[in-house]
Each structure stands twice: as C-alpha cells, then as structure tokens.
Amino acid sequence: MRIGELSRRTGVSVPTIKYYVREGLLPAGRLTSPNQASYDEGHERRLRLIRALLDVGGLSVAGIREVLAAIDDPEKPVHKVLGTAADRVVPQHEEERGEVPAAREQVSELIRRRGWRVDDRSPAAEALAVALAALDEVGHADFAEHQLDAYAQAAEEVATVDLQYVNLRVGRERLVEAVVVGTVLGDAVFGALRRLAHVDASARLFGEPSAESEGE
C-alpha cells in the first residue's frame, strides 16, 4: 500500500510516519519508483505497536527504539527482551534520595524472601527502592511492613496470567511482541483497575450507605 493508505488505516499522519522511519522506529517502505514507497501489513502492525507504546505506555521515542530493536534481534532470548521492555518503562531517577540505600536492602530482602530470580540492581528493583524511600520520607515507612508482601503476591498472580497469555503465542516475533504489549499496556490496565477497586473499597468503607452508582 502507499503511505497515504497506511496513514488512513492507522490514523497516523504521513509526516509522523516519515518521522518514525527517520528515527528508525519503522522500517522504510519498499521503493517502487524513485519517489514512491510501498508498505505492507507488517508496517501497519508495527505502526500500531509504536502508537500504543507511545500513547498508552508513555515510552519515549528512544525507549521505543530500544524495545523494538530487542524485538527484532533474533539472537536475543525472550526473557532478555522482557528485561529491556521492563527497564524502559521504569521511570529513571537521577537524584539520589537519602533513604534509598536502606530501601535497597528492603528490596533485596523481599527478592530473597519471594525466591525471585531477578537482579536486585535492575532498574525495576531500583524503582521499587526509590518508591519505598519516598514512602519513608513522607512518614509511611510502615507501608512496606504492612503491604509489601500482599502487593508482591498480587504482582505474582498478574505476572503468572501474563506469561500464560504470552505462552499462547506462536512464533518468536508474536511471542516477543505479546511480552512487550503485556508489560507496557498491562501496566495501564492494572493501574486503572487498581484505582477503580480503590474507589469501590473506599465507598464501602467511608461512603454513604447507598452510593449513587449502586445497583443498575
């Protein structure tokens, strides 16, 4: 298909598509004449993936480039691709907080306790330490004590169904793509669900006896 058709199908403007090609996110179309290129379903699929990672996942263009390179590298084991995706969606913290070293200890201990086969210096472990340190700084250090294992338990349950879903995919490319989509978009799904569950739990605990949204 021509670039105009690709744009129409995906809702991404022609200049934006060209920008993604220049930035190395999307492979160039096959040249059919000196100033015309042809795109196929692979381009369409990749373009939708880029938009999802960008819009819903909140990844940067550089982050997406890295994740896509990992997907496209046939030598890269699937669990390493997942690591790359996981690292890119973790916020990076440049400044060191005072309580981070103690929080890192907590994280290492949690990883040991759960028997997780993960690197306790990975960006995700570091992001957890930063979040725990922030809780400590606002006077909620006991959050970790009360809730960390319940959170870890829920995270394991979610990760288990994620991996079961991924395991249904046939073929490496689809499988790896499912891992990335699950990591990035699954976060958005879970975050929204957690908020809804909060509002529900809070309405039950603090709300009026008969909430406006109760019943049909």
In the range 34-93, which residues lie near a second copy by CB under 8 A? 45, 48-49, 51-52, 55-56, 58, 77-79, 82-83, 86, 89-91, 93
Helix axes 41-55, 3-10, angle to 10 degrees: 40
Nearer to a second copy, 62 or 196 (CB): 196
Q: What is the per-residue DSSP string for 197-210?
A: HHHHHHHHHHS-SS
Site map for a second copy, 108-137, x if CB under 8 A? ---xx-x-xxxxx-x-xx-xx-xxx-xx-x
For residue 107, give both structure tokens.
Answer: 């994280």
Q: How many CB atoms lie within 10 A of CB 75?
A: 5
Report how many residues bind a second copy under the rule CB under 8 A.
99
- Cβ distance to a second copy smaller for residue 31 or 211: 211
- What's CA 92's distance to the chain center, in Å? 14
Report residue 121 as tokens: 């210096």
In the complex with a second copy, the residue whose CB is nearer, 34 or 74, is 74
Binding to a second copy (CB under 8 A) within 172-191 occurs at 177-179, 181-183, 185-191
- The angle at the Cα of 47, spanning 42 to 53, to the nearest 5 degrees, equals 125
Shortest CB 129 distance to a second copy, Å: 8
Residue 131 Cβ vs a second copy, minimum distance, rounded to whole Å: 4
- What character string, x for contact with a second copy (CB under 8 A) and - otherwise, covers 133-162? -xx-xxxx--x--xxx-xxxxxxxxxxxxx
Instruction: Please state the closest distance from residue 191 (CB atom) to a second copy, in A.
Output: 6
Q: Choose between 29 and 89: whose C-beta lies nearer to a second copy.
A: 89
CB atoms within 10 A of CB 3: 17
Report the residue number, 31 or 192, with the smaller CB distance to a second copy.
192
C-beta of residue 124 within 8 angstroms of C-beta of residue 130: no
Q: For residue 178, give the nearest of 159, 162, 160, 154 by alpha carbon.
A: 162
Shorter beta-carbon distance to a second copy: residue 35 or 206 = 206
Nearest to 172 by CA among 80, 100, 94, 93: 80
18 near a second copy, judged by CB under 8 A: no
